[in-house]
Structures are given as structure tokens and as C-alpha cells.
Amino acid sequence: MTGALTRLGVHRIPVPVPFPEAGGPANVYVIEEKDGGVALFDAGIGTKEGRDALHAGLDELGISTGELRRIFVSHGHIDHYGCARAAQEASGAPVYAHLRDHDKLTGRDRTARRLELYAAYLSRLGAPPRLLEHVRIHWQDALRMARPLEHVEPLPAGTILRFKRFSAEVLHLPGHTPGLICLWAPEARVLFSDDHLLERVSPNPLLDLEGQGSRRRTAAWRCSTPASARRKGRDALHAGLDELGISTGELRRIFELLLAGPLTPAELAPKVFPQAREHQLYLTLSEVLGNLEVLEAQRRVARSERQGRIYFEAV
């Protein structure tokens, strides 16, 4: 894997992420540009450790931040764009992301109005009002670990990015976030899959009011080498596809629980994740909802709404 990446003029810098739910460090890919300099695919989290890891990685490659030409962000999670603002300021490089995640990168999705929308939505999922407090804390964390960007360029699906040693197509794979993109290098058969497929954790589609699940689309892309954001390499994609962004064990567990009768996502979450602590409800609820959407698409569960609450039941 490393050999394949090196041949493409790509270098990987793992950047530590301070929350265990992330499942490990997030990779920054440093890609040699045609006319000198480098591009980044993802920028790592903006904590001190994150910045240090990125700078140490660039130092090791003999690259200064002034040599950054373009910065591509796979999706609007802080462990992927956290350092983008600083990198942009150091280099003047434009930052590109899919339009549907721009509000995350610019912080415009974290407004009082959106907090109200979240409150209404969480209540429909059956969540206790205190969960909203977690959303607020989550947003404060985001500001602490990722400075919002002022200017983000669009990165539409189908764009062909030309680098020094290969070209890659931008694939838009909404699910984990509405604007998640992967880079697909057809000649080398390498998929830069960031958080679309993860090795150790399922890529939790964090509750997102604009979200829509279609994580299974990767199945349509046949490739030999997924270069995930969080792993050193895997010889075949099929192992990742087995997971399809979701652990089948969780799917089964949720379906079994619903055989006993309808439940709200918030009632399901502690049953599916009995070990989870209360402050993790935001994450477990997101995970449960992602699984429910897959079961719903398979027509194995159906949702209904009663007295302002969304219930799911087995069909």
C-alpha cells in the first residue's frame, strides 16, 4: 500500500484525534503537484497535537507550508478540516470541499436557528431535552479544534483533479456527511476513502438535518486499494464493503429489538449500546439512526409518527 502511494507521489501523515469514537488518527495525504509544491487531501484536526503532527510530517518530507498549492477537504468534520484555515493562511492555497459541507467548514451551520431545528428534531427522535446540551458542547468543541474558514471553493462530483503522477475523480458519497467526497484514481485503482469506510469503527453518520444515507454506493466502485483516512492499507476492498459503513451485528440487534414492538431511536440507543455513557448519546443516537435508515431502505423496518415522536417497527 505504502509502495503504491509512493509511486503516485502521495505521502501519508497520520494526525492524532483526541476522541476515541473517531477510531484512530485521521490521515492527511500529501500529494505532489505538477508544477512543484504539494496538495493536501484533508488537513487534520486543529488541536496543538494535530498541528504538531502535521508540521512534523511535512518537515520529514522536506516540505514547508508555503509549498501547499491546493487543499482538498473530504468532509466537514473537525478532524479533517481543523488545520485547513492555518494551512491556508500559511500558504495562500485555496481550500476545496463539496458545496453541501461548506457550512460546516465556515461554521455557518452552527447558528441559534439551527440549534432550534436540532432541538425539534431530537425531540421527535424521542431524545431527552438535555441531549441538546450535548449538541451545544459538540459545537463549542468544534470551534476549539477547528477554526472556521472564510473562503471555501466548490468541489463538484465528477471533477478530475490532475496531480503530478496521477489524476483522480471526485466521487460524491453522501451519508457520513451530506458533502463527503472520496478521490478515485482509476489507473492506479486507488480509492482515497477517508471516513467513508473505516477499519475499526463504522463511519457514524452524525445526526445531520441535511443528511441522507447512501453509503452503499461505494459498492458500485470496483477497486483494489482503498486508502482510508484511518488505516495503513488493506489489500482488498471487500472487507470494507462487508461493513458497508455499518456493522451488520448492530443491524441485526436493532431489527431483533424492533420485533418486540415499535421504539423511538432514543429508546433503541441505550439498548444497542448498553455500555455507552450518557454523554455519548449523541453519537449512539446517530449510529442507531444510520442503521435504521439502512433497514428502512431494505424495507425491513417502517417508521411512523405519533404525538410528535418518530417510531420504528419491524415489518
The nearer residue to Zn ion, 205 or 265, going by C-beta atoms, is: 205
**Phi/psi of residue 11, each to 5°?**
-125, 140
Q: Is residue 101 part of the contact set for Zn ion (CB under 5 A)?
A: no
Cβ of residue 181: shortest distance to Zn ion, in angstroms?
12
Tell me the window of 55-63, 146-154, 192-200, 243-251 that interacts with Zn ion (CB under 5 A). Answer: 192-200
Which distant-in-sequence residues (6+ apart) come within 8 Å of 125 by Cβ? 264, 265, 266, 285, 289, 309, 310
Cβ of residue 23: shortest distance to Zn ion, in angstroms?
10
Say if CB 75 and CB 177 are below 8 A apart.
yes
Q: Is residue 98 part of the contact set for Zn ion (CB under 5 A)?
A: no
Report which residue's Cβ sits closest to Zn ion: 77
The nearer residue to Zn ion, 78 or 131, going by C-beta atoms, is: 78
Q: Rounded CA gap, 146 and 138, in Å?
A: 12
Tell me the window of 50-58, 165-173, 193-201, 280-288 that interacts with Zn ion (CB under 5 A). Answer: 193-201
Contact with Zn ion (CB under 5 A) among 51, 77, 85, 215: 77
Cβ of residue 215: shortest distance to Zn ion, in angstroms?
12
Tell me the window of 47-55, 73-81, 120-128, 222-230 that interacts with Zn ion (CB under 5 A). Answer: 73-81
Q: Cell digits for 296?
A: 428502512
The nearer residue to Zn ion, 19 or 120, going by C-beta atoms, is: 19
Cβ of residue 39: shortest distance to Zn ion, in angstroms?
20
Number of residues that bind Zn ion (CB under 5 A): 2
List, in sequence order, the alpha helices (H) in 82-129: 84-91, 102-106, 112-124
The nearer residue to Zn ion, 32 or 195, going by C-beta atoms, is: 195
Q: Is residue 195 part of the contact set for Zn ion (CB under 5 A)?
A: yes
List, in sequence order, the alpha helices (H) in the chain: 2-7, 48-60, 78-81, 84-91, 102-106, 112-124, 130-145, 238-243, 248-259, 265-272, 281-297
Say if CB 80 and CB 143 are below 8 A apart.
no
Q: Cell digits for 126?
A: 424521542
Return residues touching Zn ion (CB under 5 A). 77, 195
